[in-house]
């Protein structure tokens, strides 16, 4: 989404409009805090602690990831601030250059994120067998979500990263 937005010039709008930037920033922060509160309010039974966690559907996980990513204004600002250095109007369509660079960035990010996912998958076996982790999982997850939401909301001005 952010690559397409940069190619269409929407990142420039987000970077130049304090209102648009603030809206996306606080919407993203509110969503993270909501996820944290939702996690903390879960009421697992004793049986839930002892059994393996039921995985969410891939569709739901993907939708949550897309929503968090779209509401992250820092990614749009990154594409707006970083990619133009490598775009030269004399070499062809600026939009196409943005798309190619964005796709390359996403391929690199997919590779990196896949390695983290493999590491997390390897660690999940240990975590599923560790009763302390299972009992405290909702507190840890909830606190991380809330912390990320608060950090996003309290983050510095967008002007300091662009100028």
Read off φ and ψ for residue 53, nearest 5 degrees.
-65, 135
| Residue whose tokens read 């929407």 | 10
Placement of tokens 């490598």 in the chain: 86
How confident is the model at residue 1, as a pLDDT?
75
Those residues with Cβ within 8 angstroms of residue 52's Cβ, 6 or more apart along the chain or in another chain: 128
pLDDT in tens, the chain (163 residues): 777 777 676 666 666 777 877 887 788 788 889 989 998 998 865 545 445 556 788 899 888 888 887 777 777 777 776 777 788 888 988 888 888 988 898 899 899 989 999 998 888 888 878 888 777 888 988 999 999 889 888 886 554 444 3
Dist. CA 13–CA 81, nearest whole Å? 12
Domain boundaries, given as residue ranges, for the chain: 2-157
């Amino acid at each position: 989404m952010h690559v397409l937005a940069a190619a269409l010039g929407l990142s420039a709008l987000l970077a130049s409009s304090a209102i648009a930037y603030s809206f996306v920033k606080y919407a993203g922060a509110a969503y993270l805090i909501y996820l944290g509160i939702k996690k903390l309010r879960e009421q697992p039974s004793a049986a839930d602690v002892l059994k393996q966690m039921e995985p969410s559907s891939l569709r739901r996980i993907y939708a949550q990831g897309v929503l968090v990513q779209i509401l992250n204004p820092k990614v749009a600002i990154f594409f707006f601030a970083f990619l133009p250095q490598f775009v030269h109007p004399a070499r062809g369509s600026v939009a196409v250059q943005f798309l190619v660079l964005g796709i390359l960035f996403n391929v690199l990010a997919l590779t990196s994120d896949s390695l983290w996912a493999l590491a997390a998958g390897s660690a999940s076996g240990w975590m599923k067998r560790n009763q302390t982790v299972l009992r405290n999982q909702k507190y840890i997850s909830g606190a991380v979500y809330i912390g990320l939401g608060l950090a996003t909301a309290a983050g510095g001005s967008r002007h300091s990263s662009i100028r």
